[in-house]
Structures are given as C-alpha cells and as structure tokens.
Amino acid sequence: MADYNAPLKDMKLTLNHVARMPELAQKPGFEDASADMVDAILEEASRVARDVVAPTNREGDEQGVKLQDGKVVCPESFAGVYQQYMEGGWGSLQYDPEYGGQGLPFLLSIPVMEMWHSANMAWGLCPMLSQGAVECVELNASDELKAQYLPKLISGEWCGTMNLTEANAGSDLSVVRAKARPDGDAYRVSGEKIFITWGDHELAENIVHLVLARLPDAPEGVRGISLFLVPKYLVNADGSLGERNSVEALSLEHKLGIHSSPTCVMGFDDAVGYLVGEPNRGLACMFTMMNNARLSVGLQGVSISERAYQQALEYAFDRIQGPAVGTKEAGPIIRHADVRRMLLTMKTLTEAGRAIAYDACGSLDFAAKADSDEERAIEQARAALLTPIVKGWCTEIAQEVTSLGVQIHGGMGYVEETGAAQHYRDARILPIYEGTNGIQALDLVGRKTLMDKGAALSALIEEMRSAAAQTDPSLTAQAKQLELAVTGLEQARDLLLNGAADDALLPGSIAYNFMMLAGYVCGGWQLLRQANAAVSLIAAGDDDPYLTAKQESARFYMAQILPRWKGFAEMLEDGSQSIMALSEEQFSSAWQ
Ligand SMILES: Cc1cc2nc3c(=O)[nH]c(=O)nc-3n(C[C@H](O)[C@H](O)[C@H](O)COP(=O)(O)OP(=O)(O)OC[C@H]3O[C@@H](n4cnc5c(N)ncnc54)[C@H](O)[C@@H]3O)c2cc1C
C-alpha cells in the first residue's frame, strides 16, 4: 500500500448519496459538474495527493520551518508541490469565473481539500487559508479590491492569511488592540498578531493578510473592530508588484505538531492597508471566512483520521504477533478481535465524519442556488447548525482515531519512525484553532439552538427520523438504534430550551456533552444513509466488497459507537450542578 490512497469510493458514495451532488449538478450554473467531470477531478486530485503531496509529509515534519534573515524557509520540497498545485488550478475549482474561478460547486472542492490534508495537513493549511481569504474578499470587499486581488488569490499566485489573534485576544476578539488610521484613500495598520498560520513564506510571490484592527475613536468591544487587507508587497495600478509593505514575521512558534506549517508572530508597523467592508463591521466580515475555515478544520479532522486509519490498517496486516483464536500459527494482528475493534472504530468514525462534513458543505451550495428565499433559509440554517458539529465533533474524534492509530502500532507507534505519532501530534491542534471546541459547543447551544428556539435542530431531527423510517428492511435493527438515539437528542434539545431561562449556567455547562451527543447521532444517521445507498447499489448488481463493508460498518457503528450517546445524554441531565459546584478556592485546596 502506498503512503496514502484517497478513499475515492467512499468520497463518491458520500457525494452522490449523502451530499446530493447529482441534484446540485442540475442547478443552473453547475452544469459542468457532471458525473464524469466529478470523477475526473477526483481521480486526478487523488494522483497528485498520493504522488506529489503525501511524500512530503514526513520530510516536512522532520525539517520544519526556520526564520532566516527575515525570511521563512519551508521544507525544500514544498516549492515544487505548491507550483504543481497552482498550475493544476486546484485552488480555483469553486470560485466565480469572473475572477478566474472554474464555477464548480463548493462541495466538489471538499473531497479535493480532504485529500490535500490527508496527504500533508501542515502544507494543506496554506491553500486552506487562501481559500478562506478569497471567500472573505469576494463577499465583503469593494469591486476595486476584488478586481485587484481576487484573480491572483484564486489562481494561487498569491496566498491569503487570517490575522485575528493577539496575545490578549484569543477566544475573546472583542479586546483586539491592533490599530488602523486613515491615510488618504488607504489606512495604516499597526500592531502584533500571534499564531498566524502561513503568515510568511516564499511559496507565492505575494501574501494577502486579512487583519482585524481598530480605527481611531472606534467603540469598545466587537462593534469597534474593522477588517483590513494588508498585502506583503503593495500592488501597482497595473497589477504588478510594488514596494515591500511594512509587515513581517517577527518569529516562529515551536509546536507539538504541524511542524512544516509556519506559525508566525506578525508585526505590522504602519503598514498600508485597505478597509474591507464597513468600518467597525470587521468581525462580521471575518465570520464569513471563519465559517468556511471551521468547516475546513472539521474536514482536516476527517483527513488526518483517514491517513491514520490507512497507516494502522497496513500495519495490522503486516505485523505478525501471536496466533488468533482457533489457529496455532502466529498471524497478522488484524486477526485479533481487539485490533479489529480499534480498526473499525477508526474506520467508522472517519466515514461518519466525512459524511457529516460533506453534507454540511453541500447545503451551502444549495443555499447559494436556492429557487426561493424559503429554500435558501432552510439550507443556510442547516449548514449553520452542522458547522460547529463538523468542527467540534470531527476534530474530537480525530484525537481518538489518531490515538488508536498509535495504539495499533504498539511500541512502534510511540516512536517517530512509523509516522503514526506524527498524525497524533498533528491532529492535536484541531480542537484548538479556528475557535476552540469549547467555543464551538457554545455556538451550537447558543446561536444555533437557543436563538432560533430549536427550529433548525428540530428540522434536522425530523430529517433523521424520516431517514430511519425509509430504511431498507435489511437495516431495520440499525434504524431502530438510530431512532432511539434521535429521541435522546430531542430530549437534550428540550432540556436546553426549557432549562436555560432558569439557569444561566446551564447552556455552558452542557454545551460539550450536547455537541458530542449531536455528533454521534449525526454520525449514525449518515452511516445509515450510506448503508441504505449500498443496499440499493448491491440490488442493482454492483458486487464491490466496499458496499458490503459499508453495511457492516453501519452495523458496527450502531452497536459499538452510537450507544455512547447515552453517556452524553446522562451527563447533560446533571445540568450545571456538579460542574459549577466547586469554589475557585476548593480547586487548589489540596495543596494549599
Ligand atoms: C498552530 C496554531 C495556528 C493558529 N492559526 C491562527 C491563524 O492563522 N490566525 C489567527 O488569527 N489565529 C490563529 N491561531 C490562534 C487560535 O485560533 C487560538 O489559539 C484559539 O482561538 C484559542 O485562543 P487562545 O489560544 O487565546 O486560548 P484562550 O482563548 O485563552 O482559551 C483557553 C481555554 O479557555 C477556553 N475558553 C476561553 N473562553 C471561553 C468561553 N467564553 N467559554 C468557554 N471556554 C472558554 C477555551 O476553550 C480554551 O480551552 C492559531 C493557533 C495555533 C496554536
């Protein structure tokens, strides 16, 4: 087995039978997304991911990045990889043809992005941040800025970054201190940003920073933050590059994982910048980018899980250790029941996460192409509800999956040689950046559930019930298990809606358990949909073992993974009681 093989069959089944790709291809403007075109794009992306990107993963981890003479030096192979990515037009799939995009569905870019992240997650962050920047500029910037910056960002000739975090402003961006002052038609931006992913490098000829800063006399808090576009090199009227702007990487962080992704402290010293959107509305503009990025980070969870699974599976076939039950000869460890438990846990969590992520992304396309305001609102609310689940749950399960990947390797998993440890280290950032999972959970219970009185969640619950009701008779037992879990989610919804008014601490106290419960239930729903699709394809004469494996995967998930919902449901019943019981003094009372 090669280092990484894209799971094309699972990607296609998910696109076609979960995320509604064939229906999307009927929408005006998406005619090019025919089944043949989708297949061709996925096949070619899979080749590039396997042959070009994946071989750089280990080397990137070992070489890391350095700041030398004011320049960020990346692993040697990255320049060539980025060049091929750019020349292949991979960054332009889903964007507006007016700015050089290919006008394909956003959904189609998702399996492609999954492949980059599986192949090399640290490298994949570079195009991922650029895509978020494109979206932010496309939706919020003036026509002039769009004309000047979008074509080069979309082609990949320039890269984008996202500059929110400061030393004192992480989860709470209301206290951002970076400043901007008007200067003729432009602005001058000053301040220091930390943890900026791919904040500087030489892979692209220019870098477009999107920076949150305060205008003079801006009100305190989130309503006083504006968004600025600050290029590394100024751009002349004819589009050519001009002077170097006064923005630079001051230092690089030394991190647990993603060693080849430069995480920069960025200094802006009266740098020329351009306002994006309205003054003091910067956070709202940045949210367009953050929503995209949150889905992408959830997808990274799926990607790294897939890579860890493939590696563990290969090892489980190769490693000979002890005879399996009923045999005398030592055999590969895949024959041992506990190893199978771990492999199936990895496989089914990954496939469930993939389906939730693709489905959420598909809803964004359906919203964009909706025939009515009502349809648009439904799809938008569905995507918005699923976003914190994709980000939160898919990155939490990535911790378990990559840890199991280490476990399956035994002692060899703990040493760096096999690469299993790298996936585990790399995955650890996912619950932290792009809004910690604590913040995602609060978003799910607050903005996405309490704010609309549970409307979007109730619609999703109905969708799950109807999927369970329409299940093929051969999957009745699994459908019943799902129905039970859906009822558990419904009860959790009611507990939240009924209890929040009387106990202000309730939403925050139950948020994480609520998010995990919702994630496991959504995972069961999606695996059941996939298993149903597999039954139909088998009935139509397809004898691919992938399809029968999908049915068995659903059976395993319902029996061995889905029941976790009960634990989360029981824990959230406790409300804020035990969580908030200890005084701050009591926390440290044991050693004081
Ligand atoms: C490798 C890496 C790359 C990054 N890339 C970027 C980037 O490109 N651009 C960028 O702008 N930032 C980036 N970040 C920053 C990242 O988004 C922040 O680290 C993250 O948002 C958390 O902020 P913080 O580190 O200040 O943690 P804090 O906000 O201090 O949080 C600490 C803990 O408290 C919890 N917490 C905080 N507030 C609340 C609350 N209200 N309710 C419940 N719990 C709460 C958090 O969940 C967390 O567990 C990156 C960080 C890293 C490590």
Is residue 470's pLDDT more than 90? yes
Residue 159, both tokens = 């890269």
3-state secondary structure 506-520: HHHHHHHHHHHHHHH
Among candidates 206, 116, 191, 202, which has minimal Cα distance to 160? 206
DSSP state of 396: H
In sequence order, what are the beta bridge partners of 275? 228
The pLDDT-based confidence of 1 (bands split at 50, 70, 90) is: very low
pLDDT at 2: 47
The whole-angstrom separation of Cα 447 and Cα 437 is 15
pLDDT at 504: 97
Question: Which residue out of 114, 351, 434, 490 is catalytically annotated?
Answer: 434
State the angle between helix axes of 121-140 and 282-318 in degrees (0 to 180), rounded to the nearest 10. 160
How confident is the model over 190-225, as pLDDT tens digits? 999 999 999 999 999 999 999 999 999 999 999 999
Q: 131, 166, 171: which to mutate for ligand 1, most atoms within 8 A of CB?
A: 171
Report how far ligand 1's centroid is from the alpha carbon of 228 (Å). Answer: 21
pLDDT at 449: 98
How confident is the model over 57-105, as pLDDT tens digits? 999 999 999 999 999 999 999 999 999 999 999 999 999 999 999 999 9
The whole-angstrom separation of Cα 223 and Cα 283 is 8
Residue 454, both tokens = 């549970």
Q: Catalytic site residue 434?
A: yes
- Residues 6 or more apart whose Cβ sits within 8 Å of residue 149: 137, 141, 158, 208, 229, 231, 235
How confident is the model over 394-441, as pLDDT tens digits? 999 999 999 999 999 999 999 999 999 999 999 999 999 999 999 999
Report how far ligand 1's centroid is from the alpha carbon of 129 (Å). Answer: 17
How confident is the model over 133-183, as pLDDT tens digits? 999 999 999 999 999 999 999 999 999 999 999 999 999 999 999 999 999
Which residue would you say has higher pLDDT here, 241 or 289?
A: 241
Report how far ligand 1's centroid is from the alpha carbon of 580 (Å). Answer: 23
The whole-angstrom separation of Cα 316 and Cα 134 is 42
- Residues 6 or more apart whose Cβ sits within 8 Å of residue 257: 61, 122, 422, 424, 425, 426, 427, 428, 429
Residue 493, both tokens = 């919804």
Mean pLDDT of 274-296: 90
Q: Give the ligand 1 atom nearest the CA of 438.
A: 47
Q: Ligand 1, atom 47: nearest CA belongs to which residue?
A: 438
In this structure, are strands 241-244 and 233-235 parallel, antiparallel, or unpaired? antiparallel
Among candidates 126, 159, 112, which has minimal Cα distance to 11? 112
State the angle between helix axes of 78-87 and 121-140 in degrees (0 to 180), rounded to the nearest 10. 40
The whole-angstrom separation of Cα 433 and Cα 428 is 10
Q: Ligand 1, atom 43: nearest CA belongs to which residue?
A: 438
Protein residues whose CB sits closer than 6 Å to any atom of ligand 1: 162-165, 170-171, 195-197, 255, 263, 429, 432-436, 438-439, 442
Helix, strand, coil % in the chain, rounded to nearest 5: 60, 15, 25
Share of the chain above pLDDT 90, in %: 97
In this structure, are strands 233-235 and 226-231 parallel, antiparallel, or unpaired? unpaired
The whole-angstrom separation of Cα 464 and Cα 480 is 12
